């Protein structure tokens, strides 16, 4: 039974979701005709009788489904090898960017249609000219936009689109935020968007985002509050906080202040207020979002993963430190939202059970809206508590 469940889980992890989700900036006006016209042009190229279905879960969440089974492209026999991360992105509907290309035949020509394969072992050497004999997986077909001199010229870091993907093996449409005016649309996974809905940021609330970079959830909170909350975003390095500011500027947000600081030390009894940045005094925030560093074993698809059990177990320590600080800075009656992008018991149900036991002041409340499934039973939470989290994993 355990072997069967493990294989089912591995299969689920290796497959991309059957839809793409976009977060729509509530501070801007979304023109769906741009999407429809683009999909119509793609349908002509692919010989599809209709465009893929799309719909809004909420006004700020657009879901785009796969092409129908009638849409196919024949393989060309011209194989291009990309790294596993790039291959996973192609399955999600991305183009192939130059740094991800490992092997490219010498007889390719520009605009030639090629087949894209992901290296499943990490053994393909960059610049390979011949057929790759290692384990590989077909992930899509597209048109070649760069040749070997552009990709492998010594001393030059290649950049830009190397292959314009036409159809991923997943049959997800090749659509990204660059199709729309800047800052209007953001590619964001549904569970990540749900975090913002559960936080439910309101104007004038004082909110802390503890591990905020690159700022996707931060900007969502700002938009939900109509850019009228007081949001402080913290991450460990200036490079990461610069990314938060860049995303806020792009999306027209002014209510976010970001700081480079270690959130495991973000509370201090000696602090005089939040205006001077971290550390913050106790009881400072109406709401705290802790999207914790984690093992990332819920990100799909995962074609190759080098995470060891020891590495997985290491995240528990920092997650506990972060929760402890979040409890300190949270006001009485405030809301703490804890989220991860992994599926391990120790980082999810086990971590919630630890927090409830360690901090009697905490009370677990049901996620609202509750779009995912319940937590795993018998993992430290009783039946009522297991129903409160919103999880997006198989019922294994």
Catalytic residue among 61, 86, 124, 341: 341
| Residues in binding site | 211-217, 235, 262, 291
β-partners of residue 83 are none
Q: Is 341 a catalytic residue?
A: yes
Q: Please report, for residues 21, 41, 144, the alpha-carbon distance to residue 167 in angstroms, rounded to integers and kept in the order given.
A: 18, 13, 13
Cα end-to-end span (Å), the chain: 11
Cα 6 from chain centroid?
Answer: 24
Q: Is-contact 35 20, C-beta < 8 A?
A: no
Nearest to 174 by CA among 160, 161, 158, 183: 161
CA 279-284-286 angle, to 5 degrees, is 130
Nearest to 138 by CA among 97, 168, 113, 160: 168
| Residues in binding site for S-adenosyl-L-methionine | 211-217, 235, 262, 291
> Which residues make Cβ contacts (< 8 Å) with residue 248, sequence separation at least 6?
215, 218, 219, 222, 254, 256, 258
Number of H helices, E strands in the chain: 10, 15
How far apart are the C-alpha atoms of 292 and 388, rounded to whole Å? 19
**DSSP conformational letter for 192:** H
Q: Is-contact 232 208, C-beta < 8 A?
A: yes
Catalytically annotated residues = 341
């Amino acid at each position: 039974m355990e072997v069967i469940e493990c294989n089912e889980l591995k299969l689920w992890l290796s497959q991309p979701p059957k839809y793409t989700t976009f977060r729509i900036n509530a501070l801007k006006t979304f023109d769906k005709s741009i999407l429809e016209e683009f999909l119509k042009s793609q349908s002509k190229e692919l010989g599809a009788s209709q465009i893929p279905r799309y719909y809004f879960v909420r006004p700020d969440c657009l879901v785009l489904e796969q092409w129908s089974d009638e849409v196919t492209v024949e393989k060309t026999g011209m194989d291009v090898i990309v790294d596993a991360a790039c291959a996973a992105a192609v399955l999600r509907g991305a183009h192939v960017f130059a740094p991800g290309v490992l092997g490219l035949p010498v007889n390719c020509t520009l605009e030639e249609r090629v087949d894209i394969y992901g290296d499943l072992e990490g053994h393909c050497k960059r610049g390979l000219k011949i057929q790759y004999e290692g384990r590989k997986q077909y992930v899509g077909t597209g048109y070649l936009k760069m040749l070997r001199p552009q990709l492998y010229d010594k001393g030059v870091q290649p950049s830009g689109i190397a292959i314009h993907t036409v159809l991923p093996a997943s049959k997800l449409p090749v659509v990204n935020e660059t199709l729309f005016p800047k800052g209007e649309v953001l590619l964001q996974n549904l569970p990540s968007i749900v975090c913002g809905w559960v936080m439910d940021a309101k104007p004038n609330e004082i909110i802390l985002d503890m591990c905020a970079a690159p700022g996707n959830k931060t900007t969502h909170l700002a938009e939900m509050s109509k850019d009228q909350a007081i949001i402080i975003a913290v991450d460990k390095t200036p490079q990461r906080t610069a990314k938060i500011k860049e995303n806020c500027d792009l999306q027209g947000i002014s209510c976010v202040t970001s700081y480079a600081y270690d959130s495991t030390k973000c509370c201090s009894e000696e602090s005089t207020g939040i205006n001077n940045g971290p550390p913050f005094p106790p009881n400072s925030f109406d709401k705290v979002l802790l999207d914790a560093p984690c093992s990332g074993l819920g990100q799909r698809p995962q074609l190759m993963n080098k995470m060891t059990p020891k590495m997985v177990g290491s995240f528990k320590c920092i997650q506990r430190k972060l929760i402890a600080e979040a409890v300190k800075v949270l006001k009485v009656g405030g809301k703490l939202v804890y989220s991860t992008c992994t599926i391990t018991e120790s980082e999810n149900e086990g971590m919630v059970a630890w927090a409830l036991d360690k901090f009697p002041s905490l009370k677990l409340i049901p996620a609202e809206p509750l779009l995912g499934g319940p937590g795993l039973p018998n993992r430290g939470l009783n039946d009522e508590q297991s129903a409160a989290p919103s999880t997006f994993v198989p019922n294994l």
